[in-house]
Amino acid sequence: MPAIARSEPFREQACPLGVCDGSGWILGPEDVARPCECRAERLNRGRSRGISSVIPPRYRGVSFDRPPISDMERDLEKKMAVTHVKAFIDGLDNNLREGRGLWIFGGTGTGKTTLAMLISKAALEAGKTVAIYSLPKLLARIRRTYDSEPGGDSYLSLFGQLTSVDLLHIDDLGAEKRSDWVLEQLYALVNERYESQRSILVTTNLKLEELEAQIGARTVSRLSQMCDLVELRGPDSRWSDKAA
């Protein structure tokens, strides 16, 4: 294979591994090039463009060292969940490589989304590709592809992005009204990531039986194999904060 032309899309970017010259290729003897390990990661990032991978403003400052996480760690009902999330982040590379995820469940206002955003933030800071959606917004994003112009944002393109990112974060799973279409979309996404061993992170207010009734037993079965369950107990902290 000849040397790669300088016009390659990520040519000017430094190699994150410090191995190649930024082209994604390593030139060997007799001008034969082999791909650098950074190439697959960069191509994966390119495929993830156009999906939501931004931490919402409310959660950009989340940290184990400051409230509300530091308060949760001192709460006997929530400490175990914080410890579990911290352990998942400590082993982030292995967890994502093996397709392991987390399923965080509990009542409204217990801190599920905050803990989940800690994981997505850590993954983004580690250079991983992440798609972050609440379930209603994810389904709305899928529906928009049906109205796209020829050559525009197609369903298959979006599906490929959602199933190839390192981590798919779905907040408020089970919040959408049940329908055959919703069941089909969720099963397709979860099953594809299950088969390709890609990590998924979900939060839900629903218990196991309730979630099965809402999104289908097949989808829940796959999620239960992909994810460790983390329960958050306690009152709605949003109301507690207002009362204080």
- In this prediction, residue 154 carries a pLDDT of 87
Q: What angle do CA 145, 167, 42 make, to 5 degrees?
A: 85
How confident is the model over 31-55, as pLDDT tens digits? 566 667 665 555 555 454 557 678 9
Regions of the chain with pLDDT less than 70: 1-14, 16-18, 22-25, 27-35, 37-50, 52, 148-152, 237-244
Q: Are 176 and 208 in a shared domain? A: yes
Identify whether residues 18 and 56 lie together within a single domain.
Answer: no
Same domain, 112 and 137: yes
Are residues 220 and 113 part of one domain? yes
Q: Is the Cα dihedral 65, 66, 72, 75 positive or negative?
A: positive
**Calpha distance 225→83 (Å, rounded):** 21
Q: Are residues 72 and 178 in the same domain?
A: yes
Position 3 scores a pLDDT of 43
Considering the entire predicted model, what is its pTM? 0.78
Give pLDDT tens digits for 183-224. 999 999 999 999 999 999 999 999 999 999 999 999 999 999
Handedness of CA 11, 98, 225, 101 (dihedral sign): negative
Question: Do 211 and 117 share a domain, yes or no?
Answer: yes
> What pLDDT is recorded for position 58?
92
Do 95 and 172 belong to one domain?
yes
User: Quick one: 35 and 72 in the same domain?
Assistant: no
User: Do residues 55 and 48 lie in contact, with contact meaning Cβ atoms separated by under 8 Å?
Assistant: no
Contact 8, 24 (CB under 8 A): yes
Same domain, 128 and 64: yes
Return the residue matching tokens 């191509």: 43
d(CA 18, CA 5): 19
Coil, helix or strand for 29? helix
Instruction: Quote the pLDDT of residue 34.
Output: 67
Q: Give the integer Cα–Cα distance in Å for 138 and 136.
A: 5
**Chain centre to alpha carbon of residue 101:** 9
- Do 38 and 94 lie in a common domain? no
* Residue 31 DSSP label: G
DSSP 179-238: -HHHHHHHHHHHHHHHHTT-EEEEEESS-HHHHHHHH-HHHHHHHHHHEEEEEE-SS-HH
* Segments forming the whole domain that contains residue 143: 48-243
Supply the pLDDT for residue 71. Answer: 94
> How many domains, in total, are found in the chain?
2
Q: What is the CA radius of gyration of the chain?
A: 20
**pLDDT score of 31:** 53
- The answer to whether residues 126 and 227 belong to one domain is yes
